[in-house]
Structure 1
Amino acid sequence: MPLKLDDIDLAILESLVKDGRKSFRQISRETKVSTPTVKLHYERLVNAGLIKGVSVELDLGKLETKTSANLDQIKHKSLNGNKIKIGKDMLVKITCDYCNGPTHNKPTILKVGSQERFFCCTSCRTLYKEKYRNKIESITKSNQE
């Protein structure tokens, strides 16, 4: 007998399609269903074979190497559908979460809940904290509970 999807299943699937890295607790908050219920429905969908796994989607535009010729080669290979090799010599380009400018050398980091925000300088980090003060306090308070 086929498995009929209900509203909870659909809400869970929609949430996972947006971001497959979410915890059951995060999905629970979004769907307004208890965490154990989310876990039960998720496991049922996995066991039924609908959810086969969670995959990673890479933004190759964020990768750079020490030589630009090597980066062009990687972009060319990925456009042809070939597999690419990500090596230790590659860097991830990070933009400032406040001014959207490039971060040079080592970015300034602000950890809020389970998220990290990256900034080009301490001034941008301070301005970000001021702009989102209430939201940061709310997340910090809910994580302490």
Structure 2
Amino acid sequence: MPVELDDTDVAILKSLMEDGRKSFRAVSREIGVSTPTVKARYERLINIGLIKAVRPEIDLSKIDKAREDLVSLENIKKQKKHFHVYVEGLKVKLKCDFCGGPVHGKPKVLRFARFERFFCCVQCRASYKEKYGGRIEMLKRSQEEGE
């Protein structure tokens, strides 16, 4: 007998289709149900076979032009959805998370909670920390409490 999806199941699927990296907590806040409910429903959707896999969606515009040969473009054209990217030696173009400019060379990295932000220079990293310092501290505290 087919399993009928209710409004909560559909809302979870829609939320995860927008961004599959969302935490159960983020989904629960978005759709207005508890985190354990989202987790249980997600596991049920996997168990019934509706959710088969979680895969990255690769933004091909971020691939460095010098390494474009690593992407199998024929497969992209033929299958439209499925393609193969050879990850070894692949380079990704980064934008500064503060000024939006390109990151040349090794990025300046800011790590906090479960996040990483990438910057073109130490000034942008310092400006980001100054602008978002309160939010960064809040995220650090909430992660420490969750552990």
Describe the SS at the equivalent of 1:132: helix
Describe the SS at the equivalent of 2:78: coil
Deviation at 1:135, TM superposition (A): 1.9
Deviation at 1:41, TM superposition (A): 0.9
The match for 1:128 is: 128
Alpha-carbon spacing, 1:56–1:87, altered in 2? closer, same or farther (3 Å): closer
Distance 1:25 1:114 in 2: 14
Distance 2:42 2:30 in 1: 15
Distance 1:52 1:79 in 2: 21
Distance 1:99 1:5 in 2: 44
The match for 1:99 is: 99
Alpha-carbon spacing, 1:8–1:77, altered in 2? closer, same or farther (3 Å): same
- What fraction of aligned residue pairs are identical, expressed as a percent? 50
Deviation at 1:88, TM superposition (A): 2.3
Aligned length: 142
Describe the SS at the equivalent of 1:91: coil
Matches within 5 A, 1:9-48: 9-48=9-48
The match for 2:4 is: 4
Distance 1:72 1:6 in 2: 45
Deviation at 1:13, TM superposition (A): 1.1
User: Could you list the runs of 5+ residues in structure 1 that have no partner in the other structure?
Assistant: none
Matches within 5 A, 1:62-73: 62-64=62-64, 68=66, 71=68
Distance 1:85 1:20 in 2: 20
Deviation at 1:92, TM superposition (A): 0.9
Alpha-carbon spacing, 1:91–1:130, altered in 2? closer, same or farther (3 Å): same
User: Could you list the runs of 5+ residues in structure 2 that have no partner in the other structure?
Assistant: none
Alpha-carbon spacing, 1:84–1:48, altered in 2? closer, same or farther (3 Å): closer
Deviation at 1:11, TM superposition (A): 2.4
Deviation at 1:133, TM superposition (A): 2.2
CA contact (8 A) 1:77 1:84 kept: no
Deviation at 1:15, TM superposition (A): 1.9
CA contact (8 A) 2:72 2:85 kept: no
Compute the RMSD of aligned alpha carbons.
Answer: 2.4
Q: TM-score, normalised by structure 2?
A: 0.80
Greater Cα shift, 75-84 or 102-111: 75-84
